[in-house]
Structure 1
């Protein structure tokens, strides 16, 4: 398996939704991933790093990142201990929203819809840093409507999406250029490298060279700044990635272990149980059961509404 895991709309959207919204708290070991939908990621609170493909940028409250399908990315909080949260409001738009908008019984004009239709077709990630009060208010209104799962509720979101797209689309044409700020900690580069390369055998000595310190000094610095050892963080990254693979793929347990760079199955089972409190098979079964139950509830609700 190549690249990073793909978060699929099949798992994240209910059956009648083309728009899904989530508020997430990013951690130092968040998984680098892709999706098969467009994501608008708005920084609600905190500061951090955003890695999109090969591009790395510092983000802060008020920034909005537009991530198209197929672009690998991850957020990384600036505070490595977790004391200062990085909160992201995720607005996810399925590709079929284009078709849905065009099939609406014309409550909206083509001019109103055009910025959103163009937004849904972007291929390159971009960011908006306008610090616009109008954008903040629009996104807060959308966040307040995140439980509107019905078709009618979804349609109430569209005018807000039209306004958001109209505000941010000019930023799509602006090339990305940014240099790390004075407060940038090079330890972020080490951890982001771990997140992107954990399949490999990456040694402590190799990582210490990245920030030009001795292995002993690196271990001490890493522990002080993150609250855990280098090995503890590397294994946490591998276990998080294992969980994602169990959820979003049909890979066998042994293939999952190999995919995260662990070749001793007894060791993998022990690490996974320590991390999740259950075996990999139990974890997958629990997720699939929860997923099917949610789908059945949606199906039942739709049936009752007709």
Structure 2
């Protein structure tokens, strides 16, 4: 069974808001991960590939996905060079939100009767991911309003988030029973499958011969193709993936440094320290210490919500 790092809500949510929102720019080596909370991910800009659980689909601006706790996923840009960014706006709902809603008799301020909260409660209980394809920027407008209140409103304004979350849930929940599996475009590059395989299997010893067979070319052809399309060698990208996962494990777990190295498939500790220093500019211990000395460490790891969809 595949196990991926878990982003935990305790690092992300403050005491007064039911959600946390941020923008991330996805890269070809973005970390496949899970959460202990529900995430609503909205594609703000660009085209990409979304790997959710065991499903892979091509996505574009205006697509939205609901990712329940325990479902691993990752977004991956179609453009391998970074020239056409894939931007994802993340709306993360605090783990205890469902219990909070049920404990409030008669509904919440401005939300009306408890019945109006049912779509939101159902969304919070989802066990499988689902997707919604925006038609006329109806999602963008709601997310923009949520962001402005959450980011700039005073604490008392946080209550205004609940009716907007209920409205968003009512809009997208009918899509929960509809398959969202757009097939890759005709010009789909099989190199994406190679990189997604690397993201999911980086712990294993993946030889150049094995990986090149996935797209039916020789090892030499594969190396030239990989370098020309990504700007990095196969080994450079594999080690970058491993270092990104190492950073996540140092931030979100209490694993010792040697255990972190083993977890990402590196068994030579001197080599691990050298790679990590080259990647981050510091030792693993210093990296962890600096993150844990800052209450917003996980927020820094995952990006910042400086962008608001319009």
Q: What TM-score, normalized by structure 2, do the two folds share? A: 0.91
User: Is contact 1:18-1:94 (8 Å) kept?
Assistant: yes
Cα shift at 1:104: 3.8
Q: Report 1 or 2 for greater relative contact order, CA contacts < 8 Å, sequence distance ≥ 6.
A: 2
Q: 1:253 to 1:188 in 2, by over 3 A?
A: same
> In structure 1, the residue corresponding to 2:294 is in which secondary structure?
helix
Give me the CA root mean square deviation: 1.8
**CA displacement, residues 270-303 of structure 1 (integer Å, 9 cap, x when unaligned):** 0000000000000000000012899xxxxxxxxx
Residues 1:32 and 2:32 are matched in the alignment: yes
Structure 2 residue runs of 5 or longer lacking an equivalent are 299-310
Q: 1:2 to 1:59 in 2, by over 3 A?
A: closer
User: Is contact 1:17-1:149 (8 Å) kept?
Assistant: no
Match of 2:248 in 1: 244
Residues 1:223 and 2:227 are matched in the alignment: yes
Q: 1:21 to 1:104 in 2, by over 3 A?
A: same
Residues 1:234 and 2:235 are matched in the alignment: no
Mapped partners of 2:130, 2:30: distance in 1:
21
Q: 1:149 to 1:102 in 2, by over 3 A?
A: farther
Q: What TM-score, normalized by structure 1, do the two folds share? A: 0.92
Mapped partners of 1:292, 1:27: distance in 2:
22
Match of 2:141 in 1: 137
Match of 1:300 in 2: none
User: Is contact 2:11-2:296 (8 Å) kept?
Assistant: no
Matched length = 294
Mapped partners of 2:149, 2:186: distance in 1:
38
Q: 1:75 to 1:292 in 2, by over 3 A?
A: closer
Cα shift at 1:78: 0.6
Match of 1:128 in 2: 132
Match of 1:168 in 2: 172
**CA displacement, residues 176-224 of structure 1 (integer Å, 9 cap, x when unaligned):** 4332221211000000000000000001111111111111111111011
Match of 1:198 in 2: 202
Q: Which moved more, 1:150-159 or 1:64-73?
A: 150-159
Match of 2:83 in 1: 83
Cα shift at 1:131: 2.2
Mapped partners of 1:46, 1:206: distance in 2:
31
Q: 1:103 to 1:150 in 2, by over 3 A?
A: farther
After superposition, residues 167-186 of structure 1 pair within 5 angstroms as 167-186=171-190
Mapped partners of 1:93, 1:292: distance in 2:
17
Mapped partners of 1:292, 1:56: distance in 2:
32
> In structure 2, the residue corresponding to 1:188 is in which secondary structure?
helix
